[in-house]
Structure 1
Amino acid sequence: MTVSFPDFLDHLAGNPVLCITVALTLGVVLVNGWIDAPNAIATGVSTRAIKPYPAIIMAVICNFLGVFVMTFINANVAETIYHMVDFGSNYHDSLIALCAAMIAIVIWAMTAWFFGIPTSESHALIAGLSGAAIAMQNSFSGINAEEWVKVIYGLFLSAILGFLTGWAVVRIVEYIFRMMDRQKTSGFFKNAQVAGAAAMSFMHGAQDGQKFMGVFMLGMFMAEGVDLQGGFRIPVWLMILCSLIMGLGTCFGGYKIIKAVGMNVVKLQQYQGFAADLAGALSLLFCSLCGLPVSSTQTKTTAIMGVGASKRLTNVNWGAAKEMVFTWILTFPGCGLIAYLITKLFLHIF
């Protein structure tokens, strides 16, 4: 099942709650492009392989392509997000709960951005939806354990896979180029890192674009009063809309996040930055094909740690790394609780 653009506009015109839900969902997509997208280009900018403005333009284009290409190949991530929670059969209240979840995600993301901490929008999305669903059902019956367990798999797999792949890729690169003069390879790795940053941006769009399109479809079917248990097809107009909004957010991407990911965790040379980008992109591709909703921020950051640790463990700023890990762990109860409280408040008021 899908929704045509004219049908969507008809529902939008006659349903004020859906209008608010759509606006908030697009707001979260905007924040995702703002907060998460800079992670994809952080290493390239920090090693001066590419300047910030061209990097942002490249990220916008590659995010756009990532949403399109991966959704046509495999939309399992979007379906996992769609079926992860159960808001119940009262669709009016369900839309209110979905609005509350989106507000909680924005509050959490902007707080993290203010402090320059690269929190995961993916984790915040999952936590916000879960907190709102629990508030709606007054129990954990609002959580679909079969789908939620994919989140747990993705949480650990992306961290381990990112670290190990980063370690392995940089070792392979060093072995291949071990006999070559470092000066002669600098131009190659500068261009290679630009390509790696493009691949990371592509996979960011592929992963995060699908997550938010899954939420968008959830809101639209709620507005129609449809309890869709099977699969659905994401319309092209929604791919375009989410891609454009995410790209707009990327244009506002913060230097704080680029600095935190690309500079504070470990100091990278250009060949190491290329290895980190390639490792992050490969890890995200694997998880996307498996239908696991993972954090592009976490995957990229752990890949950087793996690259740094390939020489010496002391090369990694474990203090900064611990701060990020703490934020990721705190996101689930923190953002989930905010969503729970806002949902209860909104249901009481409206």
Structure 2
Amino acid sequence: MLLAARSQLIEWFKLNKTVANLITGLFIAVITTLLFVALGLLKGFSVQSVIGFIVVAWLAVENGGNDVSKGIAPLLASGAASKQTALIYGAGVTIIGGILSIFISMKLLKLFTTGLIGSGFPITGNMALMIAVGAALWVALATRFALPVSTTHAIIGSILTVGSLTYGLSSILWGNLVEKVVMPLLFGPLVGLVIAWLLTYVIKYVRLPLQAGKILIWLSSGAICFVRSLNDVPKIVSIAVMAALIGIDGAEMKTLFSLFLLITVAMGIGSLVKGAAVTELLSQKVTNLDDKSSLSSLLTTSLLVMFASKFGLPVSTTHVSSSAIIGSNLHSGVKSVNWVIVRHIVLSWIVTVPGAGLLAAAAFLFYRIL
């Protein structure tokens, strides 16, 4: 009886891969959050806040599954590591970056809690839940279909939609959106492509010992996983702060550290469990990377994202790394790039803000009906 039920469950999961993908991420988030509660790392919060943390941890899991590929895809493409080794390495460095992000990337935390919606329009716990649901669903669906998308864009789309539905369009700080979010995200891919293209030519004429080249690939791959964690963890923690209805300035450092740790652990597990699909796409299907082009794309991405983290600019690691991978191999000719895959990737970027916004709106309206 039990064996039959088990077989039916496995068969159902095979036939419903999209639903199974969503359930996997949510299950990881539930277990991780409840473990933190059981260990006393999240004390004094209401049931609603804990539910909010679970949803936000779900977003972190999906972010890890989609974004770890940006750092390790060239590592895999160059033959420096196997897929499993690359995933373990990427997840480990992601966790280190997430833990340190509380001390380094506070500018991003404040931007995403106070920089998009006016101060006269408070973010409620329910609004934060809908924001997290919209972003998590979009990133999870993108990961299911092996599309590298921007969690930053998904969060922004959800915030704009939920804020507009609650308070109206006048509640959105459009000036901050253009200056601090839209412009960096718009020019990130272009800058990444051009720098990677130029850097590849430089690296071609530098005779590095084979071992030194491999070491640089490992180091730059780790740097991307590290800095993208510095960039993304504060954004996701900011939603957890909203869900708990605590202010950044008024929150105890112990509470903030617990939230940073929760999001970091969830992101690390997501990177390991769900990171294979997008990694395979970027490493094998966009273009063929050799040691030199892999190193070029990795150096370009790590330097640009590190620069963005230092100055509090929420650039998309997805856009920068994907364009760097394309640019690093253009020296081999336009035909060296699979433009059909590139077109699908760019289209997914374009529809991420409205797509996540629509999912957040659906969650918002569903909640209102209940």
Q: Specify the TM-score bucket, using the shorter chain as the normaliser.
A: 0.7 to 0.9
Unaligned runs of at least 5 residues, structure 1 = none
1:279 aligns with 2:310: no
The equivalent of 2:242 in structure 1 is 218
1:123 aligns with 2:123: no
1:147 aligns with 2:173: no
The equivalent of 2:5 in structure 1 is none
In structure 2, relative to structure 1, the CA distance for the partners of 1:161 and 1:24 (3 Å cut) is: same
**TM-score, normalization by structure 2:** 0.82
Question: Within 2, Cα distance between the matches of 1:142 and 1:35?
Answer: 31
The equivalent of 1:99 in structure 2 is 129
Q: 1:243 aligns with which of 264, 273, 282?
A: 264
**Larger relative contact order (C-alpha < 8 A, sep ≥ 6)?**
1
Give the C-alpha shift of residue 166 in structure 1. 1.0
Matches within 5 A, 1:2-17: 9-10=43-44, 12=45, 15-17=46-48
In structure 2, relative to structure 1, the CA distance for the partners of 1:318 and 1:230 (3 Å cut) is: farther
Question: Within 2, Cα distance between the matches of 1:170 and 1:334?
Answer: 35
Question: Within 2, Cα distance between the matches of 1:8 and 1:113?
Answer: 29
**TM-score, normalization by structure 1:** 0.86
The equivalent of 1:253 in structure 2 is 274
Look up the equivalent residue of 2:87 and give its one-letter code. Answer: I
Q: 1:193 aligns with which of 202, 207, 217?
A: 217
Q: 2:330 aligns with which of 294, 309, 313?
A: 309
1:51 aligns with 2:82: yes
The answer to whether the Cα contact below 8 Å between 1:136 and 1:343 also exists between their aligned partners in 2 is no
Q: 2:91 aligns with which of 60, 63, 66?
A: 60
SS across alignment from 1:19 = helix
Look up the equivalent residue of 1:144 and give its one-letter code. Answer: L
Look up the equivalent residue of 1:22 and give its one-letter code. Answer: F
Matches within 5 A, 1:335-350: 335-349=356-370
Q: 1:110 aligns with which of 127, 140, 143?
A: 140
Question: Greater CA deviation, 80-89 or 141-150?
Answer: 80-89
Unaligned runs of at least 5 residues, structure 2 = 1-38
Give the C-alpha shift of residue 7 in structure 1. 9.8
Aligned length: 330
Give the C-alpha shift of residue 6 in structure 1. 7.6
The answer to whether the Cα contact below 8 Å between 2:125 and 2:242 also exists between their aligned partners in 1 is no
Give the C-alpha shift of residue 29 in structure 1. 0.6
1:23-82 Cα deviation digits (max 9, x unpaired):
100111111111211221111112221112222222122112222334423421221111
Look up the equivalent residue of 1:94 and give its one-letter code. Answer: T
SS across alignment from 1:118 = coil
1:291-343 Cα deviation digits (max 9, x unpaired):
11121111110111110123423322222112111110101111112212321
Question: Greater CA deviation, 301-310 or 211-220?
Answer: 211-220
SS across alignment from 1:252 = helix
1:159 aligns with 2:189: yes
The equivalent of 1:86 in structure 2 is 117
Give the C-alpha shift of residue 204 in structure 1. 1.6
Q: Cα RMSD between the aligned structures?
A: 2.6
Give the C-alpha shift of residue 235 in structure 1. 3.1
Give the C-alpha shift of residue 236 in structure 1. 2.7
The equivalent of 1:27 in structure 2 is 58
Question: Greater CA deviation, 229-238 or 263-272?
Answer: 229-238
In structure 2, relative to structure 1, the CA distance for the partners of 1:60 and 1:135 (3 Å cut) is: same
Question: Greater CA deviation, 123-132 or 298-307?
Answer: 123-132
The answer to whether the Cα contact below 8 Å between 1:29 and 1:212 also exists between their aligned partners in 2 is yes
SS across alignment from 1:9 = coil
Q: 2:321 aligns with which of 279, 300, 303?
A: 300
Give the C-alpha shift of residue 281 in structure 1. 0.5
The equivalent of 2:70 in structure 1 is 39
Give the C-alpha shift of residue 232 in structure 1. 9.3
Look up the equivalent residue of 2:223 and give its one-letter code. Answer: A
